[in-house]
Structure 1
Amino acid sequence: MMPSLSPNTQAILLLTAPLIAGKGASSPELLTPGEYKRLARHLREIQRQPADLLSPDANDLIHACQPVIEAPRLQRLLGRGFLLSQVIEHWQARAIWVVSRADAEYPRRLKARLREDAPAVIYGCGDMTLLETGGLAVVGSRHVDDPLIDYTLAVGRLVAQAGRTIVSGGARGIDQSAMRGALEAGGKVSGVLADSLEKTAMKREHRNRLIDGQLVLISPYDPSAGFNVGNAMQRNKLIYALADASLVVSSDLNKGGTWAGATEQLDKLKFVPVYVRSTGTSSAGLDALRAKGAVLWPNPHDIDGLQTVFNSGGSSPAQPPQPGLALFPESGTTEATSTTQPATEAPPAFEAQSAESRPSVGEPSHESAAPTPEATTAPSRSPELSPDAAGQTPPVTPSDALFAAVREVITQLLHVPMKDAEVAAALDITTAQAKAWLQRLVDQGVIEKQKKPAGYIVKQSSLFE
């Protein structure tokens, strides 16, 4: 089902999107990602939200934003309502949906990991819930030989057999091979495109899989935008942010999008472990990534082996390089039942609120200005109260009731390691509030704080309580 276009999203599109159906041409007046980030921060500081810029009495607010963006420019951008109505009709005819950071439907992994650097708007086609399933990011060069294509197809098939999602960029070569291997094996794929979302979504080979929920295609750029090297570089962080682990099959040395994305992940972002191919022909690019901290891919031959890769967090010993070693034995893969389900995140109960009343990270929030009572009073006791000596159960306080709901939400989130800032971003609360709740759950023995990969995670024993 396509989400409806919220007032906040309409305002953000007017400020940042080309709104030229079928052409994707840019306007010099559009707010850049950096400019929109500053505007969103300013709106949050004055306790307003993007939708307020479309209200009948918006002139005062527009002038209040003058220190960030000049008022005449904002007025010209916000006056493009007719163009917006035309392009929305164009997108809807092609089953393209749009969500902004102010929407509850916005991919939570992007919001939690990228925070204010998450794209203001995401365009997509297909089942957006796939974006919350994590999986294996597979990336590599466009120009590769047949053995690497076959290798990557086999990786995609194994990931599909394990019930995991392939996350990739949709470019020819390695990206498309990983996606095709998973789809042909009945698996699921999240494709993060740098260009041509509309054209790609309309291809015959993709339509049924988009409709059936096997494939979702997203892009932070206008659906009709053509290829742009800068856009291709920038979208790499989205691929890693949506995944649980990553595999670089091939990479040039010191150049190209694959190299840029992998080095950014290793040196700066550190969202997921980065594995590099360890079989076949050696590569200067992969060797250099290994020197930067990437881990040799252990070449799992079956489902259990692949699950071990996800569970190890990139810290397990890897097999040494073995030139010419096939991914699978000749007899094929072993059918096995996975003991670890993909990490899905149940939406918080309060995400049912409208975007106007509960804007997301990067958007202004009326609620985030003042700390909640729980932020200052987080006693280390369970909300499940025991009868007292007289046999009476003490009354449940509002704080206990709130924490009971919070506990369930946080434990759903922490099936994968998350830092306190990521939890705060996912729940749209302050980091101090998140730390208080997380410490309370640590004291109760529900979660634990681990060092590698750094973050809080649900204790295995608590999963069976």
Structure 2
Amino acid sequence: MMPVLSPNTQAILLLTAPLIAGRGTPSSDLLSPGEYKRLARHLREIQRQPADLVSPGSVEILRACQPVIDESRLLRLLARGFLLSQVIERWQARAIWVVSRADSEYPRRLKARLREDAPAILYGCGDIGLLETGGLAVVGSRRVNDDLIDYTMSIGKLAACAGRTIVSGGARGVDQAAMRGASESGGKVIGVLAENLEKTVMNREERNHLRDGNLVLVSAYDPSAGFNVGHAMQRNKLIYALADASLVVSSDLNKGGTWAGAVEQLDKLKFVPVFVRTIGDSSAGLDGLRKKGALPWPNPQDVDSFEAVLNVAMSTPTATPRAGFALFSNDVPSPADAKPTAPVLLDAAPIPEAESDPSAPVDVFFDAQPQATASEEPPVTPECLVLTGETKGSPQPDSTPAEMLFAAVRTAIQQLLNAPMKDVEVAAALDVSNSQAKAWLQRLVDEGVLEKQKKPAGYVVKQIRLFE
């Protein structure tokens, strides 16, 4: 079922969207993302919504917005109602839906992670609920050899077998290989496009997956918009924000969209852990990302080990340990190693709880809508193949990636607790959230490694008593 185009969304489209119908030229008066951000903030301050700008009593509201956006400019944009009706008809004929930040259907992950920088408008086709399923973002260069295409398709296939969604950008090369590997195995796929949404949804192969509910295509840009370097760069943050973990299969060094998106994620956004490929030929780009903090991909060989990597990524918040305290060992394998050990750090940021304020206007960046969940029944998928040619019966290491990673956490906390510390103090020392520190500490108490004492209050390493 397609989301209904709400009055607020219609108003936001009039203010910000080019409304490309045929070969018409979009208005040069359009509000930029920064300008709309200021206008939305101002509307909240005066307890108004975007739809109020086109209501019968809008004159006073438009005048009240004059300090932010010129009133005559707003009037010119809001007068494009006929053009809007034309493009809405065009979108509906192609099963393209539109949601805005003012709508409850808008992806909660984007609101929570991007906040005011979440796109004011999202266009899409397919099951919008897939945008809340998380999964593995797979990104890489457009020009790659057949071996990397096959490898990337295997990643997509393994994700499908594990019931995990693949998130990618829809570009040729690595992006399309990951999406195709998942789709051909009956998996779920999110394609975050920077161009030509309208053209893509009309492709016969995509239409089949869209109809079956296994694919959703989404874009922050007009469905008829062509390629734009800036759009391609901005699209990267949406890919990472919709995922639970990410894998860079290939990248140039210090140039290109893949490099820029990964570096932004590592240095600034820190929504999810960034892994880099560790088997096959390495590259200067992947080595450069490793130096910036990217993690070696553990190369899970079956569904269980793949699930372990994703589960740890989802449960561990973004964190850079404070100086002088190494949360995880820096002894990592060479990218040439066939079976690398556990990564240095899994630094995924959990989705924060939405703030609920019944009196808040509609266009807020957090809302009280419950997060959509994927079906609890696992999808029917074909038999999975391992990535390195091993059979399903091949022996696996005794320790899963999740257990190896928590072993590092266990050691780090034991070293830290040379004196009683409260959970908030442990969280501050490790630079993680209080909830994550509590979860770790409680697990260690349950394991008998730590004990929680009252005087002085705090957690300490449990002492072995010879006589009790």
Same fold (TM over 0.5): yes
Which residue of structure 1 lines up, in the alignment, with residue 364 of structure 2? 361
Offset of residue 19 of structure 1: 1.2
Query: Secondary structure of the equivalent of 1:246?
Result: strand
> 2 CA distance for matches of 1:277 and 1:46?
50
> 1 CA distance for matches of 2:233 and 2:434?
27
Offset of residue 311 of structure 1: 2.6
Which residue of structure 2 lines up, in the alignment, with residue 79 of structure 1? 79
> 1 CA distance for matches of 2:355 and 2:109?
17
> 1 CA distance for matches of 2:427 and 2:160?
31
* CA separation of 1:25 and 1:155: change in aligned 2, threshold 3 A: farther
**Does residue 225 of the first structure (1) align with residue 225 of the second (2)?**
yes
Q: How many residues align?
A: 367
Aligned identity (percent) is 67
Query: Secondary structure of the equivalent of 1:106?
Result: coil
Query: Secondary structure of the equivalent of 1:82?
Result: helix
Contact 1:121/1:220, CA 8 A, preserved across alignment: yes
Which residue of structure 1 lines up, in the alignment, with residue 391 of structure 2? none
Query: Secondary structure of the equivalent of 2:122?
Result: strand
Query: Secondary structure of the equivalent of 1:122?
Result: strand
The 5 A counterparts of 1:27-46 are 27-46=27-46
Which residue of structure 2 lines up, in the alignment, with residue 142 of structure 1? 142
Which residue of structure 2 lines up, in the alignment, with residue 269 of structure 1? 269
Which residue of structure 1 lines up, in the alignment, with residue 458 of structure 2? none
Q: Which amino acid aligns with 2:75?
A: Q
The one-character-per-residue Cα deviations of 1:27-66 (angstroms, maximum 9, x if unpaired) are 2110000110011011111111101101111011111111
Q: Which amino acid aligns with 1:71?
A: E
Which residue of structure 2 lines up, in the alignment, with residue 320 of structure 1? 333
* CA separation of 1:115 and 1:348: change in aligned 2, threshold 3 A: closer
> 2 CA distance for matches of 1:455 and 1:233?
33
Offset of residue 20 of structure 1: 2.2
Offset of residue 320 of structure 1: 2.5
Q: Which runs of 5 or more structure 1 residues have no equivalent in the other structure?
A: 328-342, 366-405, 413-444
Contact 1:23/1:225, CA 8 A, preserved across alignment: no
Contact 1:126/1:216, CA 8 A, preserved across alignment: yes
> 2 CA distance for matches of 1:205 and 1:109?
28
> 2 CA distance for matches of 1:455 and 1:245?
21
User: For the aligned residues, what is the CA RMSD?
Assistant: 3.2
The one-character-per-residue Cα deviations of 1:139-198 (angstroms, maximum 9, x if unpaired) are 000000011101100000001100000000000000000000000111000010000001
Which residue of structure 2 lines up, in the alignment, with residue 188 of structure 1? 188
Q: Which amino acid aligns with 1:257?
A: G
Q: Which amino acid aligns with 1:320?
A: P
**Does residue 70 of the first structure (1) align with residue 55 of the second (2)?**
no
Query: Secondary structure of the equivalent of 1:68?
Result: coil
Contact 2:159/2:306, CA 8 A, preserved across alignment: yes
Contact 1:152/1:249, CA 8 A, preserved across alignment: yes
Which residue of structure 1 lines up, in the alignment, with residue 311 of structure 2? 311
* CA separation of 1:24 and 1:290: change in aligned 2, threshold 3 A: farther
* CA separation of 1:260 and 1:25: change in aligned 2, threshold 3 A: farther
The 5 A counterparts of 1:2-401 are 2-23=2-23, 25-313=25-313, 320-321=333-334, 323=336, 325=338, 359-362=362-365
The one-character-per-residue Cα deviations of 1:102-160 (angstroms, maximum 9, x if unpaired) are 00000000000000000000000000100000000000000000111011000000011
Which residue of structure 2 lines up, in the alignment, with residue 416 of structure 1? none
> 2 CA distance for matches of 1:173 and 1:139?
9
Query: Secondary structure of the equivalent of 1:211?
Result: helix
Contact 2:49/2:363, CA 8 A, preserved across alignment: no
> 2 CA distance for matches of 1:164 and 1:322?
25
Contact 1:195/1:228, CA 8 A, preserved across alignment: yes
> 2 CA distance for matches of 1:24 and 1:218?
23
The one-character-per-residue Cα deviations of 1:248-272 (angstroms, maximum 9, x if unpaired) are 0000011100001000000000000
The one-character-per-residue Cα deviations of 1:196-250 (angstroms, maximum 9, x if unpaired) are 0010011000111101110000000000000000000001000000000000000
Query: Secondary structure of the equivalent of 2:63?
Result: helix
* CA separation of 1:6 and 1:455: change in aligned 2, threshold 3 A: farther
Offset of residue 18 of structure 1: 1.0
> 1 CA distance for matches of 2:336 and 2:204?
38
Contact 1:110/1:238, CA 8 A, preserved across alignment: yes
Q: TM-score, normalised by structure 2?
A: 0.72
Q: Which amino acid aligns with 1:278?
A: T
Contact 1:195/1:226, CA 8 A, preserved across alignment: yes
Contact 1:18/1:24, CA 8 A, preserved across alignment: no
* CA separation of 1:163 and 1:232: change in aligned 2, threshold 3 A: same
The one-character-per-residue Cα deviations of 1:328-384 (angstroms, maximum 9, x if unpaired) are xxxxxxxxxxxxxxx999x98989x9xx97514349x9xxxxxxxxxxxxxxxxxxx
Contact 2:8/2:49, CA 8 A, preserved across alignment: yes
> 2 CA distance for matches of 1:107 and 1:201?
20
Contact 2:49/2:361, CA 8 A, preserved across alignment: no
> 1 CA distance for matches of 2:164 and 2:217?
17
* CA separation of 1:322 and 1:64: change in aligned 2, threshold 3 A: closer
Q: Which amino acid aligns with 2:238?
A: L
Q: Which amino acid aligns with 1:227?
A: F
Contact 1:152/1:178, CA 8 A, preserved across alignment: yes
> 2 CA distance for matches of 1:114 and 1:275?
21
Stretches of 4+ moved more than 3 A in 1? Answer: 22-26, 314-319, 321-327, 347-351, 448-462
Query: Secondary structure of the equivalent of 2:194?
Result: coil
Q: Which amino acid aligns with 2:220?
A: P
The one-character-per-residue Cα deviations of 1:403-450 (angstroms, maximum 9, x if unpaired) are xxx9x969x9xxxxxxxxxxxxxxxxxxxxxxxxxxxxxxxx9xx979
* CA separation of 1:361 and 1:85: change in aligned 2, threshold 3 A: same
